[in-house]
Amino acid sequence: MLEAVLWDFGGVLTTSPFEAFNRYEASNQLPQDFIRSVNATNPDTNAWAQFERSELSPAEFDWLFAEESAHLGHRVPGGEVLALLSGDVRPRMVSALKQIKSQFRVACITNNVKTGRGAGMATTSDRASLVAEVMQLFDLVVESSELGIRKPDPKIYLHTCEQLGIDPSAALFIDDLGINLKPAKALGMQTIKVLSEDQALADLSGALDIELS
């Protein structure tokens, strides 16, 4: 029996930062998905991974990301990437979260960095306020930058379940990245990969037997 729904934040409850990456790439004559390719190179030890575990300062990340991207063909300052991270809140997904919260425990597991305002890395006060309202809905928020562990490390999922007092098999995890879903599934969780908002809502409805508006 499911007892909890665990949520990724960026790309699930907000629009994906990948969209902002692509706009930046187009305006700077970079190959499409270049920033994602930098993040995918040496994914456990690169600048991005270290920053999400709070092992680098913003200035160190700015320099190291620039070095890594330059090695792959195009120098991109890390600071410019950080400015692209905060997406727009998806009202329908937030509404679904509220409905689900009435029947299940809910927690957020987010890979984030210590930049912007709050767990959602908001870039403006208005956006920070919206994100804060969403974060307050959760019974538990687990941030990689605070814990020092990031997805897809299985330890972050086990930590979340321990904090909720549940077995992983009693959880459903929703994320927009397959690499983050694989270890959750291996631990016994049900998983949903977000490809679109409509698809995610339909899959949640089916998995939880809730008619989501």
Q: How far apart are CA 210 and CA 212, in angstroms?
A: 6
- pLDDT of the chain, 213 residues: tens digit per residue: 999 999 999 999 998 889 999 999 999 999 999 999 999 999 999 999 999 999 999 899 999 999 999 999 999 999 999 888 877 889 999 999 999 999 999 999 999 887 655 555 555 566 778 888 999 999 999 999 999 999 999 999 999 999 999 999 999 999 999 999 999 999 999 999 999 999 999 999 999 999 986
Quick one: fold of 4-15+89-208? Rossmann fold (3.40.50)
Domain boundaries, the chain: 4-15+89-208, 17-82
Quick one: fold of 17-82? DNA polymerase; domain 1 (1.10.150)
From edge to edge, which strands make up the β-sheet containing 190-193?
140-143, 105-110, 4-7, 171-175, 190-193
SS (H, E, C) the chain: CCCEEEECCECCCECCHHHHHHHHHHHCCCCCCHHHHHHHCCCCCCHHHHHHCCCCCHHHHHHHHHHHHHHCCCCCCHHHHHCCCCCCECHHHHHHHHHHHCCCEEEEEECCCCCCECCCCECCHHHHHHHHHHHCCCCEEEEHHHHCCCCCCHHHHHHHHHHHCCCHHHEEEEECCHHHHHHHHHCCCEEEECCCHHHHHHHHHHHHCCCCC
Half-sphere exposure of 64 (CA within 13 A, CB side): 15
